[in-house]
Structure 1
Amino acid sequence: MPRTAEKVESLAREDGELLDALEAVLDVAEDDGAVEWSDVSDEMTSGQWGRLIEKGLLVDADGSGFVVDDPEGVRDALTDDEVSDAAADGDEGSSWSSYDKLAGVGALGMMAGYSLPSIRNAIGGTLDALFGPLEAMLPFYVVVMVLAMLTGLYSTLLQANLMDMDKMSEYQEQMKEIQERRKEAKERGDEEALDRIQQEQMDAMGDQMGMFKEQIRPMVWIMLLTIPVFLWMYWLLGTGQIQGQTIVLPLVGDISWRAGILGPLQAWIVWYFLCSMGFTQIIRKALNIQTTPT
């Protein structure tokens, strides 16, 4: 029973709809003893059917269909509060809150500041009250380093707290399992299994979308906080307050801040990205934060 409960809870965390699929299979199995795909094809997708088999909750009944392994344990697990909570957590983890959506809209609105002087001047002038004293005390290249370290810090913390690494790992593991089973079925020449796995891959597109949403969720918050910083630097360079200042970059030499280096990328943008990448790696190592699934 404990092992069965763990399997059911794992399914719940993965996708709450798998519990409905499991209950449908259990109902048919209790009436007929065994269940085949055709018996429940109207109740679930082939991907969900395959997932129940992969988890070992459905086992082959010697060619006469499938039976539910430990049906009493499954029934008890389906009524367990911990499993219900796991399903709720799984559904919540893959969705955006209203605040996430507002952050996305706000980030897109601020991006207009790069082409609209009115927005750029408003944001730049407002942030100058915060960053202006820093710029007055330090050379501009040090100011960029400080801002790169600041943005690297909150970007790392946002990724660590807003991305569900366990869920993303489950997505990757599921796709890996499907690919391995497809390879094995292809080697066996099992066309029926290949068709079923192909359908599973199509169904798994929803999981890939969930993984993409998990990855993009912290990005909207990072953009919401970082775009104003960029706009302030852009605004400051446009005011001429640091006119005449230059920076010495590797392979480039002494160059003005607004000179192009890599196509449209100006020196100040390149310097910021170099500092940001370096500080971000140091921060991740220092805080032992992982921002990619394993």
Structure 2
Amino acid sequence: MKGKLKQVVDSLLIGLGLLFMFGVFSADFRYSLANSVAPLLDPLLALPIHVVIFILASITATYSSIIQKYAVDMQKFKEIHEKVLAFQKEYMEAMKQNNQYKLKKLEEKRPEIQKLQGEMMGMQFRSMFYTVVVTLPIFYWLWVRIYDITPEVHYKGYYGLESKFMVTVPFSGTIHVSEPIFILPWWIFWYFMCSVLLSQFIKKVFKLG
């Protein structure tokens, strides 16, 4: 019974993950998904925008770390990764030495290694599909709120310098969060920086990695 329930939940989350990922190509879908989480997230706008993004990055970092821990067999993943790396290293050395006998033997092992690579990729995709179920609605909500997107402006978005979404950053002074920093809009840069650093911290403190 538990096995069947796990399969149903697994299929549901993967299906939702795929839907959310392909939904990025539809402005209507992004807007609808953002509105679906708006009742939960809109109260956060009472806080400064950089604090809002930090809080949301903390949520996604925690969720993704837990998902990686429990949705992926990390011990098995590590073992497969080491086998694949060892094969690749051995193959490169045989190529450099032009050792045809060793290359032939390694080619016989290639189907097994490819199967392991496929298994490893499947683990990564499963974890990713689970994660986007939480991450993308948050991301779309930020997109809608920061750019003041509404159906009336056909999703083009607009903002003014008087917007409450202004931040003061090193070297650039006071800017709107949609302005670029290192190519990316500041809000995306800040979100990913917080998310990555917090993920590493959570994994280390709670031994999730």
TM interval, short-chain normalised: 0.7 to 0.9
* 1:4-43 correspondence to structure 2 within 5 Å: none
Alpha-carbon distance in 1 for matches of 2:180, 2:98: 57
TM-score normalised by the chain length of structure 1: 0.57
Indicate the percent of aligned positions where both proteins have the same amino acid.
27
Tell me, yes or no, if structure 1 residue 250 matches structure 2 residue 170: yes
Larger radius of gyration: 1
Q: How much does 1:178 deviate?
A: 4.0
- Does structure 2 retain, via aligned residues, the 8 Å contact 1:100–1:220? no
Count of paired positions = 193
User: Which of 185, 203, 206 is the aligned partner of 1:284?
Assistant: 203
Say if 1:199 and 1:139 are closer, same or farther in 2 by CA, change over 3 A.
Answer: same
Unaligned runs of 5+ in 2: 149-158
Q: How much does 1:114 deviate?
A: 4.2
User: Which of 109, 121, 124 is the aligned partner of 2:19?
Assistant: 109
Say if 1:166 and 1:267 are closer, same or farther in 2 by CA, change over 3 A.
Answer: same
Tell me, yes or no, if structure 1 residue 208 matches structure 2 residue 117: yes
Name whichever of 146-155 and 102-111 sits farther off.
102-111
Q: How much does 1:175 deviate?
A: 3.2
- Does structure 2 retain, via aligned residues, the 8 Å contact 1:246–1:256? yes
- Does structure 2 retain, via aligned residues, the 8 Å contact 1:113–1:120? yes
Q: Which amino acid aligns with 1:243?
A: S
User: Which of 230, 235, 243 is the aligned partner of 2:144?
Assistant: 235
Secondary structure, aligned partner of 1:204? helix
Alpha-carbon distance in 2 for matches of 1:244, 1:179: 52
Secondary structure, aligned partner of 2:167? strand
- 1:122 is matched with 32
- 1:162 is matched with 71
Unaligned runs of 5+ in 1: 1-91
Name whichever of 193-202 and 239-248 sits farther off.
239-248
Q: CA RMSD of the aligned region, Å?
A: 3.1
- Does structure 1 retain, via aligned residues, the 8 Å contact 2:167–2:174? yes
Q: How much does 1:284 deviate?
A: 1.5
- Does structure 1 retain, via aligned residues, the 8 Å contact 2:20–2:132? no
TM-score normalised by the chain length of structure 2: 0.77
Q: How much does 1:139 deviate?
A: 1.3
Q: How much does 1:229 deviate?
A: 0.2
